[in-house]
Amino acid sequence: MDLDELLREGDRIAVTLVEIAGAAVIFVGALWAALRIVVEGLRYRSAAVFNPIRLSLGRFLTLGLEFQLAADILRTAVSPTFDQIGQLAAIATIRTALNFFLRREIAQEQRQVGEAGTEQGSRT
């Protein structure tokens, strides 16, 4: 096995590990959110309970997307072709846009949760 083949195999393994990490983060976040929805939904039966759960799930999704983007970058790290660079640019643009909108929604939800907590605190 020459150096080029060794680099490609190492890159392939690294990409696979990072993709698995990203998928695991998203899976754990979705599972955790689903369990919290069941527990909190049965306990409180209030729509306000779901906002913090959505915030947490959004954070997991954002982190998982970052891992997936890192895997795409690694995939093109060894001798990229122009086609691969174009695909990476398209994927990076889409994932960056998804992250932007997820983060914006998370910030909006945090403000709403904070305002709801302030209103409840002032009533008591």
Mean pLDDT of 78-87: 82
Number of domains in the chain: 1
Residue 105 burial (C-beta neighbours within 10 Å; 0-12, 13-18, 19+): middle
Residue 6: both structure tokens together: 């060794």
Residue 23: both structure tokens together: 């998928």
Task: Supply the range of the domain harboring residue 108.
Answer: 3-123
Which of 70, 60, 65 lies closest to 30, judged by CA? 60
**Helices within the chain (DSSP H only):** 3-44, 50-75, 82-123
119: DSSP letter = H
pLDDT tens for 6-57 read 888 888 999 999 999 999 999 999 999 999 988 887 788 777 788 888 888 9
